[in-house]
Structure 1
């Protein structure tokens, strides 16, 4: 999967000369936590709610006068924004974007096509993609299977699902489950779940866990 499939397009932006009180209002009204800063069509930075909260004095501090609060709110976005933010392209693999976010502790990455800002990919987008890959939003049976590390074993397992006419909604592979086995997790739909389970065991495949919408069991 690529970033372009999960990013948010039509991104709201602000310019570097806007007061941070105005930027905070834009974020609050649109329920977003960060906004790119664009001047004359060029990306110059990104500003987050945390940046603004650090710049603004607390309204609960009795030593801060209304005049001081008003003055702080007039600080320009450009003075507290993060300059030259890390970006990705629409064709960047989603896992590469997720690794960048995890490594640098970013909550989002801006998406650039050449010099044009075309989107933003956030932690929420990454999480939604993860749920989609696992088929979490769809009804079906979730099966964990232990197989050895031989490539032929993986393809033999898929043949069992094909023979039982099961639809695979999602599949993940945990290759380092153990020294002897990798763990394959599949979300499937079909009328022949009992036949599938019997066929998997008959093929010598080890079912680690089975969970259906009606019940959960371990064989």
Structure 2
């Protein structure tokens, strides 16, 4: 799965000379929290709702509403935007975008090709992809197993699943937090069809289950 598969292609952009009130109004009307700043078709910055709110007047200000409106109307996006923009390419894996957001603690990335903004990908897009990767919208039964970190371990597991005529809807692997040497890893699967109760019982008897209460629930 790539960034282009999950990004929003309808990007709301602003010019550096856009005023503070115009940018804030645009965010509210379009339901977005960040605006790429573009000049001559090229990305030059990004402004977020938080950036703008930092410049909002304090309730304790002694200025009149007319004075405030005048001052804010003169404030340009170029004065509050971030110029060092973290971006991602449309053909990069979506997990790379997720890692960038996590490392830089940001909620969205402009998607850029040759300096031109072609999309936006946000934390919501990442969450949706995560939900789909785990197969949550496909139903089935969730099974968690512990596998030895060796060649053929996952293949052997899928063979047991096949023996019970079950279909693998999704599979995700991750380290076992309690085993720092990485000799085992967890596999989280969603399976459907076949004899699911029989499969879970068999996996439990073969020592696959990661939890004391078994691999999963017999009901989907």
TM-score by length of 2: 0.88
Number of aligned residue pairs: give it: 213
Q: Which runs of 5+ in 2 are unaligned?
A: none
Within 5 A, what are the aligned runs for 1:16-55?
16-55=16-55
Structure 1 stretch 192-201 or stretch 131-140: which is displaced more?
192-201
Mapped contact 1:16–1:37 kept (Cα < 8 A):
yes
Q: 1:211 to 1:22 in 2, by over 3 A?
A: farther
Distance 1:69 1:127 in 2: 39
Describe the superposition over 1:117-162 as per-residue Cα deviations: whole angstroms up to 9, x where unpaired.
Answer: 1111111111111111111223211000112112222110011222
Whether 1:211 and 2:217 are equivalent positions in the alignment is: yes
Counterpart of 2:133?
A: 133
Distance 1:117 1:49 in 2: 19
Q: Which runs of 5+ in 1 are unaligned?
A: 215-219
Within 5 A, what are the aligned runs for 1:1-219?
1-58=1-58, 60-74=59-73, 75-177=75-177, 178=179, 179=181, 180-201=183-204, 203-206=206-209, 208=211, 209-211=215-217
Describe the superposition over 1:96-134 as per-residue Cα deviations: whole angstroms up to 9, x where unpaired.
Answer: 111111111111111111222111111111111111111
When you count strand as a share of all residues, which structure comes out higher?
1
